[in-house]
Chain A
């Protein structure tokens, strides 16, 4: 089955710790995205990648880092510089970074701080 997988479903972070959220897609999509969703709020764009080995900052990139070494993978690292990381993180992909392409989403990772 084609789709987007995110792991883990729940992740706990200790203060000062970096953690990495996984996002994998087998849809052969060029573009991938990371969003953060806080309770009762919409989606805010953290980072996006339109093609392998290239990525751009979104609206709230501070305290996060990404890599795009493979087309199917776009991991997100939440660094210790992110002071308020508790949120629901959604990964998305679409065929290409063009106007008409629909974004499809993974099941999300809920990050909690201990």
Chain B
């Protein structure tokens, strides 16, 4: 069964638009961690945020915000006033105790921000 689902394969927006990237996860553990990474065209994955399963507070960092809802098993990522430099592939990931604490990645969402 797929553990992390990013249903949006590609999203295209115009600069300054807000955009939300969806992430739905599946786990039987009560303690787990969720992550978002950004992969720019250069290829290296850049860590953006980590959230544990007991902390449902929304987080805001500049133009980035994250909405974690355990009731719907979702950890969505919103970029406000998008910029061309936000163009990248974004990955959501889950770390759970089963299977040796491995990190499971979603398939990624490719975001195009047009000027």
Contact = CB atoms under 8 A, between A and B. Distances in A.
B105 A42 contact: yes
A98 interface: yes
B50 A102 contact: yes
Interface of B: 9, 31-33, 35, 37, 42-47, 50, 52, 91, 95-97, 100-103, 105-108, 110
A102 B100 contact: no
Interface of A: 33, 40-43, 45, 48, 50, 56, 58, 88, 90, 92, 97-108, 110
A-B pairs with the 3 shortest C-beta distances? A105-B45, A42-B107, A108-B43
Given A99-B33, A100-B95, A107-B44, A42 B101 contact: no
Given A98-B101, A99-B101, 4 more contacts: A42-B107, A99-B97, A100-B52, A102-B50
A100 B93 CA distance: 12
Contact of A99 (B37, B44, B96): B96
Given A45-B102, A48-B102, A50-B100, A99 B95 contact: yes
A104 B43 CA distance: 13
B113 to A, nearest CB: 19
A57 to B, nearest CB: 11
A97 B33 CA distance: 13
B100 A103 contact: no
A33 B9 CA distance: 25
Contacts of B100: 48, 50, 56, 97
A102 B42 contact: no
A6 to B, nearest CB: 9
